[in-house]
A and B are shown apart, each in its own frame.
Chain A
Amino acid sequence: MSEALAQQLCIALIGNPNCGKTALFNALTGSRQKVANYPGVTVERKEGIFETPGGRRIHVLDLPGTYSLRARSPDEAITRDTVLGQLATEAAPDLVVCVADATNLRLTLRLVLELKKVGRPIVLALNMFDIAERRGIGIDMDALSRDLGIPVVSTVAVRRNGIAALLRQIDRLAPESGSNGPGGWREPSAEQVRSAHGDAQRILDACVTVPGHPDIWTRRLDRVVLHPVAGILILLAVLFLIFQAVFVWAAPAMELIATAFDALAVAAQAWLPQGMLRSLLTDGFVSGVGSVLVFLPQIMILFFFINLMEDFGYMARAAFLMDRVIGGVGLHGRAFIPLLSSFACAVPGIMATRVINNRRDRLATIMVAPLMTCSARIPVYTLLIAAFVPHRSIAGFVNLQGLVMFGLYAAGIVSAFAVTFVFRKRVWRGASEPFIMELPAYKLPDPRNVLMGVLLRARIFLRRAGTVILAMMILIWFLSTVPGAPPGATDPAINYSFAGMIGHAVQPVLAPIGFNWQIAIALIPGMAAREVAVAALGTVYAVGGGKAGALGNTLAAHWSLATALALLAWYVFAPQCAATLGVVKRETNSWRWPAIMFVYMMVLAYTAAFIVYNVTTALGG
């Protein structure tokens, strides 16, 4: 161990969900934090660094919220194993800071009593102390400290109050680093939990006075927000607002990014002579990475709303309202946010599944997120619909083209529910997780926390785009460019490339679903991003610039209606996005899930296209 490390100390933040633990974590570390997954499990790991006045360098770990050390889900297991020092990749903490919502102490006191059995130094931080004071809750901190046998400090994390006192306690209690052995703890029986509740109640009675009228605002708001009719209407309005914001507010920023990338392409064309490097920069980098990076504004707006709702306390209410609606197929109430985000792009949608704590629920959501019609499918849909579906009205007012578009969206949603249902019934047949969730008191969101959350997500996305996605785009570009066309060739260059070879090779497999070799080739660069397939089709049919109108006419002349409809059906399901698969790999820390996703979506796509092609052909399409 190096000398610098000898002074380092590890502390862990533990607490009930919604106790403001993350706000305290932010107040302690500022921007010096990083988010990753624990190796091998889909549980988010947040770590940060700060220094105490005593000159100690402290690594602080923000553990997943829990009510007990007894673990049911992998994230709770992480909390337990970290505190007990049983995690192979994690050093046991030297000190545990237990964070409590000062307005709601009961469950935290029981957790503290349980933590004391582990035998590590503990500091109890009574967070949101200002709210407790405002509500007239009297807490005798000295008595509390005496009864629990641990130091107690009051904090207001969002205003950074009480942090200094907490740091003093950490400095005072800090043992020699590395002196921490495995903790002692045994899973309590139901009777022990009951008796701990009794002890907590006694301490509560002795140290805390609660006024007769608790939180009136939460009660009043809930009467509207959780109302069976009004609540649903409000939820729909909120969802609509988010949907609107993601698509409309983000548009100017997205255009700006697209313009910047176009300018980059033009600059590259001006500076570099005709050749491979220029092609790599313009076709690989600009149209590949650019087409993914363009989603950054959408991601930031989306996470702004998610953080806002989480901070405000609405997220738990929304999960309550949605539980029965999407719970019937086996999705968790919270899954609706990631699924909604996936209409913009599956990448932020999959990143947003981190709001779901339970691993199975999270995996189920990740697996179906790409079935939501992402905005990269829209160019493909509009091209084919405009070319093949007649522009006419049915029953006087329903536009046939619009109807087909709606049908494609609906097909994605319905199939997502069906796939989840099958997954939960066939793959994870175990007991379904009970839905028991605290509804936290409403509180005003803290702008700083919300902003930090948004920037954190943006940073993660940019790093992904700069590493995984960039590397994949380069490889896909390589496949569709090399080897180049031989001298005197008449067909477009892509025809001679590896992508062309693969396209010709797989064409017999795709023949039963009505795809010709041109489509087979276009599908390969389409793996970079779905809409790239449109440009690729333009290249294959040698229609310059991929102009939609001209390309549409060409396609209408070359394809049968059956082929076009089959391609649409294919695009509803096909795993045509390397970025999504890469993100799934990163989020689940295993190749298993992206592989399963690829296979099941491929099977669905092929089946759907097969049925559509053959039915349409039989009907004389």
Chain B
Amino acid sequence: MIQALVTYLIVALAAAWIFWSMILPVRLRAALRRRLGLRMVVCGMLDRAGGCGGCDCQDCPLRR
């Protein structure tokens, strides 16, 4: 029972992650981040031009 619960949780997380980072358009994601009050990631030069969300990189060393 607990196994199944954990499994469903992992699957739901994977689905949510794919939706968030791949399916959601970049601009919508940026808008959502702003709305949710998530920290605009300090992403070097991008930061000055309005923050992450313009960048679809996933490779940002400062993101973690």
Contact = CB atoms under 8 A, between A and B. Distances in A.
Direct contact of A and B (CB under 8 A): yes
Interface in A434-467: 460, 463, 467
B45 A589 contact: no
Contacts of A90: 45-46, 49
A34 B60 contact: yes
B10 A36 contact: no
A294 B55 CA distance: 30
A471 interface: yes
B44 A582 contact: no
A276 B7 contact: yes
Given A34-B60, A277-B6, A467-B58, A475 B49 contact: no
Given A39-B26, A280-B10, A589 B49 contact: no
Contact of B54 (A39, A61, A591): A39
Contacts of A474: 10-11, 14
Given A470-B14, A474-B10, A582 B54 contact: no
Contacts of B18: 468, 471-472, 475
B23 to A, nearest CB: 8
Nearest to A177: B48
Interface in A575-600: 582, 585-586, 589, 591
A589 B56 contact: yes
Interface string B24-64: 00100000000000000010111111100011111111000
B42 A59 contact: no
A276 B4 contact: yes
A275 B54 CA distance: 42
Nearest to A48: B44
A471 B14 contact: yes
A279 to B, nearest CB: 8
A36 B18 CA distance: 19
B44 A89 contact: no
Contact of B59 (A463, A470, A478): A463
A35 interface: yes
B56 A39 contact: yes
A277 B57 contact: no
B17 to A, nearest CB: 5
Contacts of B60: 34, 36
Contacts, number: 91
A61 B46 CA distance: 11
A37 B54 CA distance: 11
A331 interface: no
A163 to B, nearest CB: 20
A331 to B, nearest CB: 27
B49 A88 contact: yes
Given A280-B10, A470-B14, A582 B22 contact: yes
B45 A32 contact: no
A272 interface: yes
Contact of A34 (B26, B49, B57): B57
Nearest to B22: A585
A447 to B, nearest CB: 24
Interface residues of B, number: 30
A34 B48 contact: no
Main secondary structure on chain B at its contact with chain A?
A: helix
Given A90-B45, A471-B17, A275 B58 contact: no
Contacts of A37: 56-57
Contact of A10 (B45, B57, B58): B45
Nearest to B1: A275
Nearest to A278: B3
A273 interface: yes
B54 A89 contact: yes
Contacts of A49: 44
A47 B56 CA distance: 14
B11 A463 contact: no
A545 interface: no
A467 B59 contact: no
A32 B55 CA distance: 18
Nearest to A2: B42
A216 interface: no
B42 A5 contact: yes
A273 B17 contact: no
Contacts of B6: 277
Contacts of A544: none
B44 A47 contact: yes
Interface string A42-66: 0001010100000000010100000
A181 interface: no
A433 B42 CA distance: 38
A582 B54 CA distance: 20
Contacts of B44: 10, 47, 49, 59
Given A276-B3, A276-B7, A5 B48 contact: yes
A591 B19 CA distance: 13
B11 A277 contact: no
A91 B59 contact: no
B55 A39 contact: yes
Given A474-B10, A585-B22, A272 B49 contact: no
A5 B49 CA distance: 12
A272 B14 contact: no
Given A471-B14, A472-B14, 8 more contacts: A10-B45, A37-B57, A47-B45, A278-B3, A460-B59, A474-B11, A475-B15, A585-B22
Interface of B: 3-4, 6-7, 10-11, 14-15, 17-18, 21-23, 26, 42, 44-50, 54-61
16 contacts: A5-B47, A5-B48, A32-B61, A36-B58, A36-B59, A61-B45, A89-B50, A89-B54, A89-B55, A276-B3, A276-B7, A277-B6, A280-B7, A471-B15, A478-B11, A591-B23
